[in-house]
Structure 1
Amino acid sequence: MAKKLVVLGSKNDVFSFLLEGDEVVKIRLDSKDRRRVVGSIFLGKVKRLARGMGGVFVDIGLDKEAYLPLKGEMLKVGDWILVQGVRDELGEKGIKLTNRIKIPGKYIVYMPETQEVKCSSKLSTEDKCKLLDLIKEDLHNEGVILRTASAKASKEDILRELQQLRGLYQSLKARLKGNKKPQLLLEELPQHLGLIRSHWSDLEGIFCNDISLWHQISNFLEGFEPSLLNKLYYVKDTSALDSSFGLREALKRALQKRLWLKGGGYIVIEETEAMTVIDVNSGDACGDTQEENALRTNLEAVKEIAKQIILRDLGGIIMIDFIDMKEQGNKDKVINALKEALGEDLCNVQIYGFTKLGVLEMARRKSGKSLTQMLTEDCPHCNGSGRVKGDNLYVLELDLDIENCGAGFVEVYVPKGRKGAVEGYINAKKMDHVVIIEDENLDYNKYEIRHVR
């Protein structure tokens, strides 16, 4: 399906919206100043054994040591090793690493430390067989994942990229010799460039409201895929992008706890520190039996649940409380429908099945905070029992409304505690026609915009 990417830059953050048709299917957020750990490759030094955990703690040149679980490897204190970040710091949990390096390209993901050869789930059986025959004889005790775009690539293109990625890995490995210090060797791409790398063959348009980000994307495309340069657009008017692609509505839906289904049922998504719990509730009865009604609603819910897991970037343990079904065949239908709805993301998911209590248990690879955790924060007015919009989302929505006001001076009334973030944003965008006024009576999520005559 044809896709579009919208990239919105603010003072400190970059929002990326990936659309399939007219629907936003992924929202990702990057901090402009924060270093990227997940996907980045480091030269590390083993500092101490993680007794009882089956791993080691590694110095990678950052403030805190990172944890590397071991799967049969023997490492000792003082050893040097190439590692890659798989999970950023999250709450009390530190950075997690792997020594099974993966280097993504346009057509393949190169895996020098394994001998696995895998294919994208979107490739046809015919394409899989053709591509596997094409590349297997050129692999030397190394592995690859053949990406969807490889189906349209020539043998020369794929083998050329294999050689490039192999050479890159060898240059990284050479850093294990000579004078060494723990350090970052290869930083992962920011989210918006990573989305281009993953979906470039389907992109029909890339839209950006920030001129410096536009130049960054343009420079990246010149080396990665020059044919996309004529599909890259600079749109200064953020509100026009919102109107065209429904960005604010997508953000709103991505933060809702309760989502209604067309059949009258609904799902409730609750994120906790330990896990995400999703509850499915029934709608209007249409079938002949309770079992039929449960299956119908559950199958409808599966599609929305899969969308929301990917959209919100939910990771870790996920428990889904479907409407109770007695027949094992119907439970199998729900599991199969979930696998199909997850599509290519299924490679990040493990489905364990229904528990004795009838709850579906699954896990999704967790690399950092979910979208909700990144866009909201503990409410300062209720001792952390609820959440409010984070400053990044608050100023983005405010910016959209200010642009919709048109020309002329405006006064913006904001609640106590928001003024500093809003003023910083307004000053960075040189909005000299905007005056910020603090109003202690305003709700923490609200603001008021008034024209000055």
Structure 2
Amino acid sequence: MSQEIIINSTPQQIRVALIENGQVAEVNIERRKHRGIVGNIYKGRVSKVLPGMQAAFVNIGLKKDAFLYVTDVYDNLEDDDDDETEGDASENASQELQQKPQKAQRRRPLIQELLKRDQEVLVQVAKEPLGTKGARVTCHISLPGRYIVFMPTVNHIGVSRRIPSQGERNRLRKILKSLKPASGGFIVRTAGEERDEDDLKTDIDFLTRLWETLRKKSETRRAPSLVHEDLNLVSRTVRDIFTNKVEKFVLDSEEEYQRVVEFTEATMPHLVDRIRVFVKDIPVFDHYGIESELEKALQRKVWLKSGGYLIIDKTEALVAIDVNTGKFVGRKNLEDTIVRTNLEAATEVARQVRLRDLGGIIIVDFIDMENEENKRRVVSTLERELEADRARTNVLELTELGLVQMTRKRVRESLKQLLYQPCPYCKGLGIIKSEETICYEIQGAIQRLVSTTENGRITVRVHPSIARMLKGEEREIINSIATDYGRKIKLQEDKGMHQEQFQVSLV
């Protein structure tokens, strides 16, 4: 798979696009005045302990207190160097480890036994604040290097699941065991594949020194305070994505270009010649067709090459993706048409999930198929295409209703949440009450007023579109009340009113 990294940098924001086989696979955006906080380490103060939820709220200096689960506080791993758990440094390593089954049954400590109100704790942000929720934090600190992730709070050795060769995995694990200090855990990242002992040792030495510095720094800080800020988006891209698979690394900023070259010369000199500065007049994202792909990624409907299409809707609870044949009528029979559409859709669903950075529960409504083998082919295609995704995904079998349920780890806001804001007119609903409905609500409001008063003129202040309706096809509402109750009713237009707003008053 050929990869290219394209970076657009301005004083206001950094945008990074990962292109795979000529298609935009991922887009990450970081606003300079609103940098993300995932990976940051804070000295926090416990503000509330919740025994009923086995969690606690921690004040880390943000608008909303962070949320800390009990499993993010205690170490549920055995101190065993033969640990076979695998980790991927693109995710929070401590959460990977929590899913490892314990070797012996032991009572899990309760949150009220571990934390008390006003207690100071060192935590790392695992998930950005999303919607109305505060950040999620963990006490299991993980410090990613180029080839290694260091976890000072657990005793563990692991190798990234993306290194497929068992022989290479055994070699790396053997090196880690020989280099591992008395305490702390290490995971070899995907970039550590085929690296020698010196490379891994350099990373381990750097990360252990960094942890010692952070630990001492935290001892002198008062809670709440920031102890360590993660790298910016460009530096994280070099650290996490720039590997031998990347054929070209393009930046449109001379300043960022120099920084990347300096870092790469020190850590990966064999990749320096792949870094280039973009000097053309046309914007770099336009030149590589990324801007148009970004615009498409924000649309509800996604067309497939065959003529079928996807409809992608995000709700508070989940993301729903509907597959439709659209203009595609096939050639052989109905089952063949449906299977072809579903297979193409499975590939595009995987791409859209990555591109839009969708997370949480995702439901894909494939077109119903009769043949069991065809169903397995569709699910296998989806799973295969998701293998390139750096975020952890879990795909379940196709249900009897033709639905595929999957989960994808959500760490940050989706692309749409980052670039859009709720419509101030409909407040994010996407719909408002019809003009006809508002007219009937006004009718009820007038009737309530005239039934409780004996005389006086009634003024109805409304949006101009509602006024036109009441003067036109719904004029009988005003006429009948005026006749039945013998009252004068005056319509008053107000352009500043919301279409759903109205005011009925007695003059």
* TM score, norm. by length of structure 2: 0.69
Question: Is 1:275 matched with 2:315?
Answer: no
Mean CA deviation greater in 83-92 or 323-332? 323-332
Provide Cα deviations, 1:321-341, integer angstroms capped at 9, x if missing partner. 111234555444333322221
Which SS does the other structure have where 1:367 is aligned? coil
Asked whether 1:166 is paired with 2:208, we answer: yes
Cα distance in 2 between the residues matched to 1:238 and 1:255: 26
2:329 equivalent among 265, 272, 284:
284
Alignment-derived partner of residue 300 in structure 1: 344
In structure 2, relative to structure 1, the CA distance for the partners of 1:109 and 1:51 (3 Å cut) is: same
Higher Cα Rg, which structure: 2
Q: Is residue 2:190 matched to residue 1:148?
A: yes
Matching residue within 232, 235, 245 for 1:190: 232
Q: 1:214 to 1:33 in 2, by over 3 A?
A: farther
Matches within 5 A, 1:49-88: 49-71=49-71, 72=108, 74-88=114-128
Q: Secondary structure at the match of 2:282?
A: helix
Cα distance change on mapping 1:96 and 1:108 into 2, 3 Å? same
Q: How do 1:175-186 residues align onto structure 2 when only pairs under 5 Å count?
A: 175=217, 177=219, 180-186=222-228
SS at match of 1:239: coil
Show the counterpart of 1:451.
Answer: none
Letter of the structure 2 residue corresponding to residue 32 of structure 1: R
Taking a change above 3 Å as real, the CA distance of residues 346 and 369 of structure 1, as seen in their structure-2 partners, is: closer
1:97 and 2:141 correspond: no
Residue 372 and residue 59 in structure 1: after superposition, are their counterparts in 2 closer, same or farther (change >3 A)?
same
Q: Which residue of 2 is the match for residue 369 of structure 1?
A: 413
User: Which residue does 1:136 correspond to in 2?
Assistant: 177
Report the counterpart of residue 91 of structure 2 in structure 1.
Answer: none
Figure out how many residues of one structure are paired with residues of the other and give that number: 386
**Residue 241 in structure 1 maps to residue 284 in structure 2:** yes
The alpha-carbon distance between structure 1 residues 34 and 238, as it changes in their structure 2 partners (threshold 3 A), is farther
Q: CA deviation at 1:63?
A: 3.5
The 8 Å contact of residues 378 and 386 in structure 1, kept in 2 or not, is answered as no
Picking from 271, 275, 286, the partner of 1:232 is 275
Inter-CA distance 143–327: structure 2 relative to 1 (3 Å threshold): farther
CA RMSD of aligned residues (A): 2.8
Amino acid at match of 2:330: A
Q: How many percent of aligned residue pairs carry the same amino acid?
A: 31
Q: Is the 8 A contact 1:80 1:176 kept in 2?
A: no
Amino acid at match of 1:303: T
**Which residue of structure 2 lines up, in the alignment, with residue 110 of structure 1?**
150
Question: In terms of mean alpha carbon deviation, does 60-69 or 216-225 score higher?
Answer: 216-225
How far did 1:184 drift?
1.6
Instruction: Write out per-residue CA displacement over residues 55-102 of structure 1, whole angstroms, 9 at most, x where no aligned residue.
Output: 111122334321111124522223332211122122211111122222
Task: Give the Cα separation in 2 of the matches to 1:169 and 1:355.
Answer: 47
What is residue 320 of structure 1 aligned with on the other side? 364
Decide whether the 8 Å contact of 2:159 with 2:172 is kept in 1. Answer: no
Amino acid at match of 2:128: D
Partner in structure 1 of residue 464 of structure 2 = none
Match of 1:17 in 2: 17
The alpha carbon displacement at 1:36 in A equals 2.8
Change (3 A) 1:146 1:332: farther
Distance 1:323 1:145, change over 3 A: farther
SS of aligned partner of 2:316:
coil
Equivalent residue letter for 2:48: R
For residues 360 and 416 of structure 2, what CA distance do their matches in structure 1 show? 14
For structure 2, the residue ranges without an aligned partner over 5 or more in a row are 72-107, 432-507
Separation of aligned partners in 1, 2:16 and 2:323: 29
Question: Quick one: which of 199, 203, 206 aligns to 1:157?
Answer: 199
Instruction: Name the CA distance, whole Å, in 2 between partners of 1:380 and 1:166.
Output: 49
Unpaired runs of 5+ residues, structure 1, are 388-453
Distance 1:242 1:368, change over 3 A: closer
